[in-house]
Structures are given as C-alpha cells and as structure tokens.
Amino acid sequence: MALSEDQVIIIGAGPYGLAAAAHLRAAKVDTRVLGSPLQFWKNNMPAGMFLRSNWDASHISDPEARLTLDRYHEAQGTASERPIPLDRFIDYGLWFQRQVAPDLDQRQVVQIGRILHTGLPLSLMSRPSSRHIQPITAI
C-alpha cells in the first residue's frame, strides 16, 4: 500500500495501535500501521511478569469482539491462565496483529515534520517519504 494523502497512519503496533487499526479498518478507513508488533512489551517488561489487569480488561479491542483472549485460546488450543503471563499476552498480541494488520510495515519512523496546511511528512528508517500525510494518529 503506497502512502497517500487521505489515509490514516498509525505509529505503533502495540495494543492501542492494533485496536485503532481494527476499528478503523472495520469502518473501511484506509489505514497503515507502522512499527514492530508489541515491541515495547517484548523489550521493556520484566521476564516472568503477570498482567495486573483482570481478564475482561485485558482483551485488545476490536469492533465485533471476535478477537478476544478467549478466542485466542480457542484458536491456539490452549487453556487460559489467570493472571495472564506476559509471554502469553505478547503471543496474544501477535496473533491479534496477524488478524487485523497482516500488512504491518515494520519500518521505524525517525521523524515527523509539520508543514502548515499541507500535512505531516514522515521520514522512515529505510527511506524518506515525500508524501505529506493529512490525517495521522500517533499511538
């Protein structure tokens, strides 16, 4: 998908960015997701950690509630654990990402500029974008 003037760019492929992508794509909004999936969770959370949030508050949101932790466990053929272990939540997030953003662009955003009335130019690690993106969601 080429960057265009009227698409939404989501910077970040963590739970919030993936939830935003799920809702926007369900609404037929042309959306691109940039980032490494669950990178912050993989690199910054302590090994062996358990989520403090309860089960119902730990699902990543999608508009039809079809990508819940329960559905993940059904699809994987695994039993749920409570509290949720970090490695299981990361695996759930990666499963969610494959469902809602299989075309995830893992290039790193290195700069977001601002030009009045013309949009927000993005510079990506592998090559600069010459496009000016109008709507942008940074999550």
The angle at the Cα of 112, spanning 94 to 116, to the nearest 5 degrees, equals 135
Each residue's pLDDT tens digit, 11-49 = 999 999 999 999 999 999 999 999 999 999 999 999 999
Q: Which residues pair with 133 in a beta bridge?
A: 120
pLDDT of amino acid 137? 47
pTM of the model: 0.83
* CA–CA distance, 122 with 114 (Å, rounded to integer): 9
Please give the structure tokens belonging to residue 49.
């950690």
Higher pLDDT, residue 85 or 121: 85
